[in-house]
Structure 1
Amino acid sequence: MQGEKEVPSLFPSQKSLTAQLLQTTGKISAKRSYLAVGVLCYINLLNYMDWFIVPGVLVDVTKYFNISDSIAGLLQTVFILCFLMSAPFFGYLGDRYNRKVILSAGIVLWSGVTLGSSFITESVCHLLIWNGLVGFGTASYSTIAPTIIADLFEKDQRTCMLSVFYIFIPVGSGLGYVLSSSVTQTAGHWHWAFRVSLSLSLTAGLPFPSHAPFFQTIDHSSTNTYFFWCDSRSFIWSSLGVTAMAFVTGALGLWVPLFLDRAQVVHDLVPPCLQEPCKSPNSLIFGGITIATGIVGVITGAAVARRYKKINTKADPLICAVGMFSSAPFLYLSIMLAARSIIATYIFIALGEFFLALNWAIVADILLYVVVPKRQSTAVSLQIFVSHLLGDAGSPYLTGVISDALHTRQNDSHLGAFRSLQYSFILCVFIDVLGGGFFLLTALHVEEDREEAQQLCRGFYVHFRLNKFLSANCHYWQFLK
């Protein structure tokens, strides 16, 4: 009977595997866990502010270097390509070594390169190179931070913490537009936007718990679950859904301020910018819209998912599908109505961004419960690699190439420049709908994959406790021999 009472401890059903292992190796206080999440959220804010400094001053940069739409799109593409190429490397390190050290090194690198970018005056090629190095530094953070939160919290609390963490993606993105535009107008030159961003990043400390999560230090010689996430169909389909999200947000994030500026020139609301700094309010307005819709969207998505999961275990991917399908018509209306009403364009952009923001915290939660904990950093890095490679790494450049190709067939006028960029945006609407389809396919497999991940975790936990028992009683086995 005594043996039967100990069975539940070997097969945990309520607490997450990581939480129980942390209790065994050294429990982390709730206060330090929340402090760590607070620091991660602050760095996430700075991370995405840096992402959108260049889009916020794109009108000034294009005028300063006198570049075409395709070259302007390449600025963001090079940044994201370097980011995604280094993500698997940092994911590999995050599963094996001290995550705090990796995060600290990445922040120092990205801060230093951001400062260097502010002194580039001669060639846009130099700006491309330095922008790529910033992407390399930010990859160290983006691949590791969600897995730290997964190590510290479980189930509903984890979903709540992830929603707080992912709120800072749209908030940071919006502040990137606001900061870069405001500083440029105040200082009189776009270079100062990079210097102000650096001063903020230097204030980020790293007071993470001194006890590293268990899965940083386990023996990785066993490969029986190494490719588990490759067999998880819900991981594959949700990653493709995230890729569609990245494609749309990447194209919109770079081009919307410039698109709105061209629309206002066509409406004779503002004069054409002939010399930088260009006094355009669109980066400020679009940044404000991104912040507001991001906060409301992430909170709404997480709250709806938390309640809907109680009656439908497929709630997460279904909500993501609804978000993608709903945003598509609003984005289309915002594109088509830009030639008639700027106010209507702002309204429909806000609605489209709101429905896209529903998914940010949910897609991260899907990954964390369909992939075993000791492979989560690798899975996150793989998802980042695929979503950026096929998503926002190419969408800004592709949009610029399509715009340039269409512009050559139209009159070289302000109306022609506006129309070419307008028509190139329509591709985003189709990708939006395609992403909704990927999330529907995720819903078909998410229950099975979640259960399989839980079974693998339980089996690994038994193996861990058995090894600990044998190690603690090795003198007894020696005596028997």
Structure 2
Amino acid sequence: MAGGMSAECPEPGPGGAQGQSPGPGRQCPPPITPAPWSLPRWRAYVAAAVLCYINLLNYMNWFIIAGVLLDVQEVFQISDSHAGLLQTVFIGCLLLSAPVFGYLGDRYSRKTTMSFGILLWSGAGLSSSFISSRYSWLFFLSRGVVGTGSASYATIAPTVLGDLFVRDERTRVLAVFYIFIPVGSGLGYVLGSAVTTLTGNWRWALRIMPCLEAVALILLILLVPDPPRGAAETQREAAGGSRSSWCEDVRYLGKNWSFVWSTLGVTAMAFVTGALGFWAPKFLLEARVVHGLQPPCFQEPCSNPDSLIFGSLTIMTGVIGVILGAEAARRYKKVIPRAEPLICASSLLATAPCLYLALVLAPTTLLASYVFLGLGELLLSCNWAVVADILLSVVVPRCRGTAEALQITVGHILGDAGSPYLTGLISSVLRARRPDSYLQRFLSLQQSFLCCTFVIALGGGCFLLTALYLERDEARAWQPGTGTPDSKDVDSNDLERQGLLSGAPASTEEP
């Protein structure tokens, strides 16, 4: 019986030779496997550069309004609580659309989805620059549409990089990609403030961005490929493996405790960066007024040098922090398997006292406040590339787009969707109970910021819990049957032999 079975070949699938099975006693032909998807190394790096450029523009859009916030408040006559609602509307629309784009990104052309998002956010941003002061609700709505377009890119772009690079190379590329979060955020402040100073009209800042985004769209279409999902890991799904439903992907992620706890840690980071990013320039300006370094502003355009200073500080600390965090993770995870979540936890726990000191020292010494604020931003920035690498290492490639979407959704729902509004609301409530003076306005905003120190400490605790489950979830993500090969079967030499990111000619499939 055994010999008969060994001589027989199982019925071939539709791709078998002529659809027939060889007769008894004949040897089975070797299984036919599709040629691995390949891409020249230089093409992969060009694609990464384009994606980094678009990420820069994406985050400039997030914070360009914060750089001209005083002017926006003067034009549309809105209070602190309503000004905070601007960012809440932006983030709220982003988080509502992120799961939709995550679903599309896991199943359809990622390049097409990202192109649609760029068109959407650039068109809405340009339109918002022509809205009259009588239609403040329309300006709020336009910010929501910009957030919807941003969701497509923030959800999908990291998964494309995850399918172009692997292991240490992926860590480095992600570090460069996430450098543009603080750089873009800082340039958003700088562009908004600088254009307002040069033209005398803050609306021109919103009119310059679509020109840069048109270039980005052309580069995306021409230079960025759409690799098969899991191509870098040579997973079977890249050759046409099975596809799970969206509900099955969500159930899988809900049982992945590394993903769950790291998502809550990212949520704490988003809460603090959202509040700081929106209100810090105004907080620092009011501190300068309290110290007598600048007169109050009662009519636009309002000159706010702190938008330029805070923007430059964000760029500098962001670049250094992302590089330090990624390099520390790359080095130490070779000797400490749980290094990545431990680095995130330690940086957040150290951020809390720095942020507290920056707030309480502002009425006494502005220089010390800047120093501790910069140190806190540096420590926060250490995590951006590391948390992305954690997600890519513990989630199977078939549902990374959904995982990115869920992390964005949860992070924004509980994080920066509400933190700017909550901070402004607390400030308005405190101010209503106090005499109307610049000192009391400043103290109200200062005290509304204090909740951020507790939230960031909770985020550090979430990453400590992530460390407890990391090794188990990484092993499960690489188990046979999950859509990826066993980790022992994949190394850099295998990848080179298969042609991925080598100098071999690319496949005939057009990107």
Regarding TM over 0.5, the answer is yes
- Shift in CA distance, 344/221, structure 1 to aligned 2, threshold 3 Å: closer
Query: Highest Rg: 1 or 2?
Result: 2
Once the two structures are TM-superposed, the CA of residue 201 in structure 1 deviates from its matched residue by 1.0
Q: Which residue of 1 aligns with 2:439?
A: 415
Once the two structures are TM-superposed, the CA of residue 102 in structure 1 deviates from its matched residue by 0.7
The answer to whether residue 404 in structure 2 is matched with residue 392 in structure 1 is: no
What amino acid is the match of 2:107? R
What amino acid is the match of 2:88? T
1:372 and 1:457 in contact (8 A); partners too: no
* Residue number among 177, 182, 189 corresponding to 1:177 in the alignment: 189
What amino acid is the match of 2:411? S
Q: Which residue of 2 aligns with 1:475?
A: none
* Residue number among 211, 214, 229 corresponding to 1:199 in the alignment: 211
5+ long unaligned stretches in structure 1: 4-21, 463-481
Once the two structures are TM-superposed, the CA of residue 76 in structure 1 deviates from its matched residue by 0.4
Counterpart Cα distance in 1 of 2:273 and 2:442: 20
What amino acid is the match of 1:79? F
The answer to whether residue 114 in structure 2 is matched with residue 103 in structure 1 is: yes
* Residue number among 233, 237, 250 corresponding to 2:257 in the alignment: 233
The equivalences for 1:268-347 within 5 A come to 268-347=292-371
- Shift in CA distance, 192/224, structure 1 to aligned 2, threshold 3 Å: closer
Counterpart Cα distance in 1 of 2:79 and 2:152: 32
Q: Which residue of 2 aligns with 1:62?
A: 73
Once the two structures are TM-superposed, the CA of residue 227 in structure 1 deviates from its matched residue by 2.6
Counterpart Cα distance in 2 of 1:273 and 1:211: 52
1:234 and 1:442 in contact (8 A); partners too: yes
Once the two structures are TM-superposed, the CA of residue 383 in structure 1 deviates from its matched residue by 0.3
- Shift in CA distance, 333/23, structure 1 to aligned 2, threshold 3 Å: farther
Q: Which residue of 2 aligns with 1:479?
A: none
Q: CA RMSD in A?
A: 1.8
Once the two structures are TM-superposed, the CA of residue 126 in structure 1 deviates from its matched residue by 1.4
* Residue number among 209, 215, 229 corresponding to 2:225 in the alignment: 209
Counterpart Cα distance in 2 of 1:23 and 1:441: 41
Q: Could you state the TM-score of these two structures normalised by the residue count of structure 1? A: 0.89
Q: Which residue of 1 aligns with 2:139?
A: 127
- Shift in CA distance, 339/225, structure 1 to aligned 2, threshold 3 Å: closer
- Shift in CA distance, 88/307, structure 1 to aligned 2, threshold 3 Å: same
1:228 and 1:371 in contact (8 A); partners too: no
The answer to whether residue 459 in structure 2 is matched with residue 435 in structure 1 is: yes
* Residue number among 117, 128, 133 corresponding to 2:128 in the alignment: 117
Once the two structures are TM-superposed, the CA of residue 121 in structure 1 deviates from its matched residue by 2.1
Q: Which residue of 2 aligns with 1:351?
A: 375
Q: How many residues align?
A: 442
Percent of residue pairs identical: 56
Q: Which residue of 2 aligns with 1:253?
A: 277
1:222-276 CA deviation, whole Å, 9 max, x = no partner?
6866632211101000000000000000000000000111111111111110111
The answer to whether residue 47 in structure 2 is matched with residue 36 in structure 1 is: yes
1:298 and 1:358 in contact (8 A); partners too: yes
Identify the structure with the greater helix proportion: 1
1:425-453 CA deviation, whole Å, 9 max, x = no partner?
00000001000000000001101111011
Deviates more, 1:379-388 or 1:124-133: 124-133
The answer to whether residue 82 in structure 2 is matched with residue 71 in structure 1 is: yes
Once the two structures are TM-superposed, the CA of residue 23 in structure 1 deviates from its matched residue by 8.5
1:175-226 CA deviation, whole Å, 9 max, x = no partner?
0000000001111011111011111111111111265446586542568666
What amino acid is the match of 2:243? H
Deviates more, 1:378-387 or 1:211-220: 211-220
Counterpart Cα distance in 1 of 2:150 and 2:469: 32
Once the two structures are TM-superposed, the CA of residue 65 in structure 1 deviates from its matched residue by 1.9
- Shift in CA distance, 456/246, structure 1 to aligned 2, threshold 3 Å: farther
Counterpart Cα distance in 2 of 1:461 and 1:351: 41
5+ long unaligned stretches in structure 2: 1-5, 7-32, 232-236, 487-511
Deviates more, 1:117-126 or 1:331-340: 117-126
Deviates more, 1:92-101 or 1:200-209: 200-209
| Structure 2 counterpart SS, 1:455 | coil
| Structure 1 counterpart SS, 2:284 | helix
The answer to whether residue 464 in structure 2 is matched with residue 452 in structure 1 is: no
The answer to whether residue 100 in structure 2 is matched with residue 89 in structure 1 is: yes
Counterpart Cα distance in 2 of 1:220 and 1:459: 9
1:188 and 1:277 in contact (8 A); partners too: yes
- Shift in CA distance, 456/428, structure 1 to aligned 2, threshold 3 Å: farther
Counterpart Cα distance in 2 of 1:373 and 1:314: 21
Counterpart Cα distance in 2 of 1:221 and 1:459: 10
Once the two structures are TM-superposed, the CA of residue 369 in structure 1 deviates from its matched residue by 0.7
